[in-house]
């Protein structure tokens, strides 16, 4: 639960925000990380020392459900001459380390990121006659913060969030989000590390799909050029009824389609409803067999596998001239962890020779035949995976949100993979890698063409390539919600 109050009013667990003339003794009692972010807010809004603030009644570190201690809401007059309308500016407090005493975040020093290294912001167009900011954006920010705390996946500029619901629970077409650097908030050096500010940008479904197929930064740049769709400061207007492609039909073909053809997609992976089976081994052979284990004790991804997959997703915005999967077993030197770009041979040798935890000794298995399973939303991304990633020499990962497993598609140009052209299907515990040649990718794109219009077919849907010993099924969501997955 949360309450709305001026930030200058005392809360149940935190003192009021200090103003520019706060006594030194009081300032010393105020959480230093919080004080540093307030300083940046005061720089931007010197005339609003006590903005309205949504605050968690029971703080996260006291067992409350909301990770953000506060969300401050400021009135920004914009700049009419620059097509920047008046709007409400929301700023979160809690993804970074506010306290420095390990109550929420582990303090790791001043040189690195503070907590998760960022706070969220949001700019909402002010409606005519609106005297106070709506509070629903604060709950939206809490929802994103819960995802970050629970998954430990951080956000980066250009990331997208599939929300599948109007952000304000209305009938709006703005149902998804992109993230970008806040155009006014500057990075802050706090006593507990650096904090940057990532702004949420509301987008339509068609704009989300284009960001997935091409890249988020490209779509953000297009939104900046269309005043009613965001303009220079990417201000969200929940009343916007048209996509940028309906406003300017030339954008799709001249910018997005050409961008996909030239650049491919920067989306390197998604969290999804997916599963896989090893068809080359009988189901009753439970020892070192299928990655989707039936029963109450499924094999779990190792910590190193999980970190590699997380790093793969985190690097989605990077364009590498020579794509490399992060190694399974990072090497340690002088107490620091760094990633190598290993050959397949030495990455596997290091995995078996230097691992300490017995689970890390799970051998990499070559599989003869596999069955991939996706829900409709995940399946619709397969053409993107093939055309936007593998045909450009890159990789793409599906990380299951319903089970502890992952599927990574790799092209022949990706180093560090344990799937090879000789053995294109390989598994390390519940992590499956599939290497597809360019010729097979082109064949799959032809056979999977109807996935680009998923609303036109009925589930379940099955595709099979017997000569390649590969089967793909598109299944209803309920299949993945069962205990078997």
Task: Give residue-wise pLDDT tens across range 363-415.
Answer: 789 999 999 999 998 999 999 999 999 999 999 999 998 778 999 999 998 88
Token pair 């303009």: residue: 231
DSSP bridge partners of 270:
398
Whole-angstrom distance, CA of residue 253 vs CA of residue 73: 39
Is the pTM for the entire model greater than 0.85?
no
Tokens of 222: 């297009």
Centre a 10 Å sphere on the Cβ of residue 24 and count the other Cβ atoms it contains. 7
Percent of the chain whose predicted confidence (pLDDT) is above 70: 76
Residue ranges, comma separated, of all CATH 3.30.1360.230 domains in the chain are: 268-281+363-484
Q: DSSP strand E in 322-367: where?
A: 331-333, 336-338, 364-366
Domain 268-281+363-484 matching CATH 3.30.1360.230: the answer reads: yes
Tokens of 127: 């409606």
Whole-angstrom distance, CA of residue 419 vs CA of residue 409: 9
pLDDT over 50 (residue 352): no
200, 371, 393 from 472: Cα distances, Å: 35, 6, 22
pLDDT over 60 (residue 4): yes
Q: Could you tell me which residues come within 8 angstroms of residue 410 by beta carbon, excluding any fewer than 6 positions away?
A: 325, 390, 395, 417, 419, 433, 434, 435, 436
Q: Check residue 413 and give its pLDDT.
A: 82
Task: Give residue-wise pLDDT tens across range 94-143.
Answer: 999 999 999 999 998 999 999 999 999 999 999 999 999 999 999 999 99
Pairing of strands 269-272, 395-400: parallel
3-state secondary structure of 241: coil
Q: Is the bond preceding 460 in cis, omega lying within 30 degrees of 0?
A: yes
């Amino acid at each position: 639960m949360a309450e709305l109050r001026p930030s200058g009013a005392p809360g149940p667990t935190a003192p009021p925000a200090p103003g520019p003339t706060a006594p030194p003794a009081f300032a010393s009692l105020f959480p230093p990380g919080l004080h540093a972010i307030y300083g940046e807010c005061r720089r931007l809004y010197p005339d609003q020392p006590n903005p309205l603030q949504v605050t968690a009644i029971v703080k996260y570190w006291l067992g409350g459900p909301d990770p953000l201690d506060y969300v401050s809401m400021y009135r920004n007059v914009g700049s009419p001459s620059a097509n920047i309308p008046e709007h409400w500016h929301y700023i979160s407090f809690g993804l970074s380390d506010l306290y420095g005493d390990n109550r929420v975040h582990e303090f790791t020093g001043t040189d690195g990121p503070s907590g998760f290294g960022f706070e969220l912001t949001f700019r909402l167009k002010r409606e005519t006659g609106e005297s106070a900011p709506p509070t629903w954006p604060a709950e939206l920010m809490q929802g994103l913060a819960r995802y970050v705390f629970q998954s430990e996946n951080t956000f980066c500029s250009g990331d997208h969030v599939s929300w599948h619901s109007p952000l304000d629970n209305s009938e709006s077409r703005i149902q998804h989000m992109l993230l970008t650097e806040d155009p006014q908030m500057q990075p802050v050096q706090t006593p507990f590390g650096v904090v940057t500010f990532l702004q949420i940008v509301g987008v339509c479904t068609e704009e989300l799909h284009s960001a997935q197929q091409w890249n988020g930064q490209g779509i953000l740049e297009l939104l900046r050029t269309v005043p009613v769709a965001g303009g220079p400061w990417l201000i969200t207007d929940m009343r916007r009824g048209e996509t940028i492609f309906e406003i300017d039909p030339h954008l799709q073909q001249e910018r997005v389609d050409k961008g996909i053809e030239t650049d491919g997609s920067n989306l390197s992976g998604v969290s999804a409803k997916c599963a896989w089976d090893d068809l080359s081994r009988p189901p009753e052979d439970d020892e070192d067999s299928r990655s989707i284990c039936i029963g109450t004790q499924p094999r779990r991804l190792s910590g190193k596998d999980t970190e590699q997959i997380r790093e793969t997703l985190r690097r989605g915005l990077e364009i590498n001239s020579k794509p490399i999967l992060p190694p399974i077993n990072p090497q340690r030197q002088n107490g620091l962890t760094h990633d190598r770009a290993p050959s397949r041979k030495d990455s596997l040798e290091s995995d078996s020779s230097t691992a300490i935890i017995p689970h890390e000794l799970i051998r990499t298995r070559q599989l003869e035949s596999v069955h991939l399973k996706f829900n409709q939303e995940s399946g619709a991304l397969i053409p993107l995976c093939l055309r936007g990633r593998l045909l450009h020499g890159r990789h793409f990962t599906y990380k299951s949100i319903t089970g502890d497993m992952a599927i990574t598609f790799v092209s022949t140009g990706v180093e560090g993979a344990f799937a090879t052209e000789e053995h294109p299907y390989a598994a390390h515990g519940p992590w499956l890698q599939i290497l597809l040649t360019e010729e097979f990718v082109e064949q799959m794109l032809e056979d999977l063409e109807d996935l680009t219009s998923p609303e036109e077919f009925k589930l379940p849907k099955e595709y099979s390539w017997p000569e390649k010993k590969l089967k793909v099924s598109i299944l209803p969501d309920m299949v993945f919600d069962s205990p078997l997955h």
